[in-house]
Structure formats: C-alpha cells, structure tokens
Structure 1
C-alpha cells in the first residue's frame, strides 16, 4: 500500500485561495506518480500535496490540462459528475462500510456522497458544510484545487486511525471528446487497483496518509 506522509505546520498559519501559492505548501511532499492502468494514452501531469496543522487537513491538486471539459448545465452533483475533476475517497477500514467521496471540478463545485460496498451511493449525504472549504483556480494550461477538511469532521466520521493514519484514494477523471462528439472519461489513479476495468470503488485503490506528530 502506498504511503504519503502529511507534514505538520503551525496552527492557524495556513489558508487556502485556490492557487496553491501559500509558502507553507513548500513544506509538503509532492507526489505525481499517477497513471491510468486501463488506457494506453499518456495522462497529463498531476501534482498532489497535503499538510495539516492538527486542526485542519489541507489538500492541493495541480492538474496540467489546456482542454478542460466542464458541464455548465447547472450546479448540481450531476453536472460535476460529467466534468473534468479531481477526487478524494476516505474510508475507516478496508471493508468500505462506509466510505466518503469528494469529487471536485475546476470550478470548485463538489459532488460529495457516502458510499458502501457494491456501489451503494447516498447522494443525499453531504460533508458538514462548516467542516469543509474548497477553492479553485484556472489558467490556460492548468487548474488547481485546494481543500480544507476539519480534523473534527474526520474524527467524527472515524477516518483517523489510532496511529494517525488516514486511508485515502486520490483520483482524477479527464473527459476527452470522441469522434462521435461525445465525451468519455479517462480514469486516473494514485494507486493501481489491479482491476481489469476502471474501478475506484474498491478496497485495492486506496493508499495511506500518515499525519506527522498527530
């Protein structure tokens, strides 16, 4: 299982604006070993970082992409589901009963839901609004997404283990236009789940975040 160490910074010194330009992000380890095990084409560069201050877990994605696909029908979860996006799944154990999903598009719109095995999705569930903040930023060549999750909500959802670890999946959906004009997703993941077809909703697609000094 892949492990990512989440470095700790001083409390109340971190903030997000969507750009990922706060100096404290330099303290975070950057990973970019993402792939699409089910597709032959190369995937654009994706950078991920995370840090925490004991009260909040901060996450940052930078996705290099000059041809974004964003469904602008409305601001519903369905529109997010049809758009380029980054994703974070969090679980309490390998049984996935339950686990929690955040899917965020370049406009900082979020599709959040609770899930259980066999793709039982509860789209009526939302991350507590006072415990999450999301900001994004778009340029001609890349977009950034920053997320802040309160440690209190992670604890209430039983997502932090006694050793300070969090079991997490990091993903990306990239929509490409096909010859018929329709858009189809390429599924990109940090951890290769070793499945024959694209699948994030499986225990083998998760890695581990290890919170420093927690």
Structure 2
C-alpha cells in the first residue's frame, strides 16, 4: 500500500530575486507558503508557534524557520554534535525513498551550528558524512519575539543525493525544544510537522515524513 504523504508546496521564484533580496530579508519570503501545522504528540503541554517557509529557483532550495520563542537553550561546552544535540534546534530530514535507505539529516541550532549526517534505518548514523560545504549555507537571527534559522541548499546537491524525484522532495520538518525541569536538567519536547504515530518520540521513521512539491 502506497503511503499518502502530507504535502507542502514550494513556490518557484526567479533566481535573480535572490541577488536583490539577500537571505534574512522578510520580503524575500513574501511569496512562500507558510506551514504552521506542527504537533507534539507525546506531550500535552503547549509549545511556541513555528512557521516554516520554503522557496526554490533553478539553483537553490531555500528554507526558513521562525520560532516564536525567546527562552532559548544552547549547550555551549564545545561545538561537538553532542553539544548541538543538547540544544534548542530545528531539523530537516530528506529521504531517497520510503525505505529510508539512505536518508540525510540536518539539525541546526539557534547559533547556526549544523549537525549533518547520513543515516540508515534503525538509527544507524554516519556522522563522518558531511553535506558538501559549498552546497549549504545557514544564517540565524533573534528578535524580541522569535528566532529565525534559514538557509539555502543547492539543487545540484539534492539531485546528486537522489533526493529530488518528479519535482518532489520527501522531507521531515522538526523542532527540539529544551526546557529546564529541575536540578539544572533540561528535557526536550519533540515537535513534528507530520505525526509519526509512535508511542515514544521518533523522527527516524518513515511515518514522520511528508513531501515538498517543487512548483513550476
């Protein structure tokens, strides 16, 4: 049985628009569809509003997370993946197909640190793998009400990894929110665009993915 994936339409823009409007300019994102239907199926607590937007042109896929939260936790003991993994962050996963063999993960904290890795089913992670450096760029911004994590990924790198098929990218969109509970211990709330219908939090599963349709 073929799964029916939740869908987000990625609007096409003229690549010249990027040159006039650098990333982090609000007007750049005016044409984008705004995705806000996130859930945290494993907790009853409310969580801060999240807006996700994406655009594409002939050269790049652009993404923008705006999270209406100013109580941000960053583990700053070092710049290791473990440190990023203990910090408030947003996440984009891309898969080649439903079998998750392989899929690719980008986890980005509010200071712009990237945890990028290749994965196989069963949480088999290859942390030595890196997204090609010239093919990804990330910027962050904080204001009085929110933080923004946004960036660009080259279309060529997505094609090279076999992640664009029939103008569609199968993707997961997530957030990890760390809150102080007691004794200086922080606990995560896991937030997802697609409800994976698992008993415990798990993004590394086929049911946590939807699809980005690259409009023409």
Alignment correspondent of 1:117:
121
Provide Cα deviations, 1:158-180, integer angstroms capped at 9, x if missing partner: 0000x200000000000011123
Does structure 1 residue 160 correspond to structure 2 residue 187?
Answer: no
**SS of match in other structure, 1:37:** coil
The counterpart of 2:111, out of the listed 107, 114, 121, is: 107
**2: CA distance between counterparts of 1:17 and 1:182?**
39
**SS of match in other structure, 1:86:** strand
The counterpart of 2:14, out of the listed 1, 10, 15, is: 10
Report the TM-score, using the length of structure 2 for normalisation: 0.94
Alignment correspondent of 2:213:
210
- For structure 1, which runs of at least 5 residues remain unmatched after alignment? none
Provide Cα deviations, 1:41-71, integer angstroms capped at 9, x if missing partner: 0010000000001210000000011210001
**1: CA distance between counterparts of 2:62 and 2:23?**
11
**2: CA distance between counterparts of 1:23 and 1:182?**
39
Counterparts of residues 190-201 of structure 1 (less than 5 Å): 190-201=193-204
Question: How much has 1:140 moved relative to structure 2?
Answer: 3.7
**SS of match in other structure, 2:182:** coil
Question: How much has 1:22 moved relative to structure 2?
Answer: 3.9
Provide Cα deviations, 1:53-103, integer angstroms capped at 9, x if missing partner: 121000000001121000111222221111000000000100001100000
Does structure 1 residue 40 correspond to structure 2 residue 44?
Answer: yes
- For structure 2, which runs of at least 5 residues remain unmatched after alignment? none
User: Stretches of 4+ moved more than 4 A in 1?
Assistant: 15-18
Provide Cα deviations, 1:140-171, integer angstroms capped at 9, x if missing partner: 4210011100000000000000x200000000
The counterpart of 1:189, out of the listed 192, 198, 203, is: 192
2:22–2:28 CA contact under 8 A, matched in 1: no
Question: How much has 1:18 moved relative to structure 2?
Answer: 6.1
Cα pair distance change 1:17/1:174, threshold 3 Å: farther
Q: CA RMSD in A?
A: 1.3
**2: CA distance between counterparts of 1:90 and 1:83?**
21
2:12–2:215 CA contact under 8 A, matched in 1: yes
Provide Cα deviations, 1:164-201, integer angstroms capped at 9, x if missing partner: 00000000000011123200100000000000000000
The counterpart of 2:141, out of the listed 118, 121, 137, is: 137
